């Protein structure tokens, strides 16, 4: 089947990614790497004690049959660093069909692809990134609605003389402000000479300081969407709520299947997410409490994390 030229690329259409600027050899020369799509592991269900009716099933998505297209990206700059990985802005070089060398789109843009970022796991945090990949798979039905579009989780084994390129200093407008020298996380995995990353839609800016978001129903509804999908975010914090993308390089937001609106906000960072073990009443109470703490700080120009 030929590449789409005037419609959005399906989220499962890319089977491999050629990425430039992310890996270098010991001499410091950047090398290109081809990474293959990985199947996410089973999603973490967490403790079942609070939900006698068992965990909610996965809401089915509406994706077509997977394709074997190849996406070529170039890392441009580091946007942020967080607990388990770093996020880089990516330039989209090409989208191609390896079975037909003549079928290629150079610099694909809307309506085919939005501006993209890659979230790259730190060497000891490939496990948490795989968990985040599983969360995106679990929530496929609300990608582009309440969370970013995710075009897949990709991995490649690196040569013995290859290392990840740091990518320079973060752009302060996107940095999450968290230190990279946190105590060891029990979910850390042994270091490996492997590159592991998610390809995601780039979202918009963060919430503005000194604004009262407590009465903004849209943010609460976005978190409610996660609950309807059976997901507990477990990481409500300032860096993890972004505006929907508005640049000319963005795809339009999709109408929410639960609230019949196009949401203004998106939730990110799901390496701590679990299956929801509250009923919706308990989930709303917990989410509203955590959001209320966060919004109280923002209104006063402070970042207050619920934990």
Residue 4 lies in a domain: no
Of the candidates 115, 86, 75, which has an alpha carbon nearest to the alpha carbon of residue 200? Answer: 115
Residue 60 lies in a domain: yes
Element (H, E) at 79: strand 69-81
Cα maximum dimension of the chain: 58
Of the candidates 149, 131, 130, 132, which has an alpha carbon nearest to the alpha carbon of residue 140? Answer: 149
**34, 16 in Cβ contact below 8 A?**
yes
89-110 pLDDT tens trace: 999 999 999 999 899 999 999 9
Q: Long-range contact list for 186-189, CB < 8 A, 24+ apart?
A: 187/84, 187/125, 187/127, 187/128, 187/131, 187/271, 188/124, 188/125, 188/127, 188/128, 189/124, 189/125, 189/126, 189/127
pLDDT band at 162 (very low <50, low <70, confident <90, very high): confident
Quote the CA–CA distance of 15 and 67 in Å, as a whole number.
7
CATH, residue 42: 1.10.510
Residue with more model confidence, 93 or 166:
93
**22, 33 in Cβ contact below 8 A?**
yes
Residue 215 lies in a domain: yes
Residue 9 lies in a domain: no
Residue 52 lies in a domain: yes
Maximum mean pLDDT: which of 2-6, 52-56, 152-156, 174-178: 152-156
Strand-pairing partners, residue 121, are 85
Quote the CA–CA distance of 266 and 155 in Å, as a whole number.
26
pLDDT band at 170 (very low <50, low <70, confident <90, very high): very low
- HSE, CB side, 13 Å, CA atoms: give it for residue 207: 28
- The whole domain housing 50 covers 14-299
Which of 95-99, 170-174, 210-214, 219-223 is the least confident region? 170-174
Residue 306 lies in a domain: no
Note the pLDDT of residue 179.
38
Quote the CA–CA distance of 23 and 31 in Å, as a whole number.
6
Number of domains in the chain: 1
Residue 35 phi, psi dihedral angles, 5° rounding: -110, 145
122, burial (CB in 10 Å: exposed 0-12, middle 13-18, buried 19+):
buried
Q: Percent of the chain, pLDDT > 90?
A: 67
Residue 305 lies in a domain: no
Mean pLDDT computed over every residue of the chain: 87
**230, 55 in Cβ contact below 8 A?**
yes
**35, 153 in Cβ contact below 8 A?**
no
244-276 pLDDT tens trace: 998 999 999 999 999 999 999 999 999 999 887
Residue 238 lies in a domain: yes
């Amino acid at each position: 089947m030929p590449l789409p030229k005037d419609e959005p690329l399906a989220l499962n259409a890319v089977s491999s990614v050629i990425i430039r600027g992310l890996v270098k050899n010991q001499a410091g020369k950047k090398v290109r790497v081809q990474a293959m799509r990985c199947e996410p592991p089973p999603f973490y269900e967490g403790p079942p004690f609070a939900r006698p009716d068992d965990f909610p099933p996965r809401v089915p998505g509406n994706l077509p049959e997977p394709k074997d297209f190849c996406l070529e990206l170039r890392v441009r700059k580091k946007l942020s660093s967080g607990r388990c990985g770093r996020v880089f802005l990516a330039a989209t070089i090409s989208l191609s069909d390896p079975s037909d060398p003549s079928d290629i789109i150079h610099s694909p843009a809307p309506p085919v692809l939005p501006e993209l970022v890659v979230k790259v796991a730190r060497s000891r945090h490939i496990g948490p990134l795989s968990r985040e990949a599983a969360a995106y798979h679990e929530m496929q039905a609300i990608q582009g609605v309440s969370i970013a579009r995710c075009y897949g989780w990709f991995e490649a084994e690196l040569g013995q003389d290859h290392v990840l390129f740091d990518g320079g200093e973060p752009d302060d407008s996107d940095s999450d402000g968290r230190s990279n020298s946190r105590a060891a996380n029990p979910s850390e995995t042994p270091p490996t000479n492997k590159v592991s990353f998610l390809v995601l839609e780039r979202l918009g800016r963060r919430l503005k300081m000194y604004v009262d978001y407590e009465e903004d129903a849209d943010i609460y509804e976005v978190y409610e969407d996660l609950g309807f999908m059976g997901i507990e975010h477990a990481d409500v914090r300032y860096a993890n709520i972004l505006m929907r993308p508005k640049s000319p390089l963005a795809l339009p937001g999709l109408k929410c299947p639960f609230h019949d609106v196009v949401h203004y906000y998106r939730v990110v960072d799901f390496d701590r997410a679990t299956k929801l073990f509250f009923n919706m009443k308990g989930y709303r109470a917990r989410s509203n409490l955590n959001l209320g703490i966060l919004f109280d700080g923002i209104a006063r120009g402070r970042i207050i994390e619920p934990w």
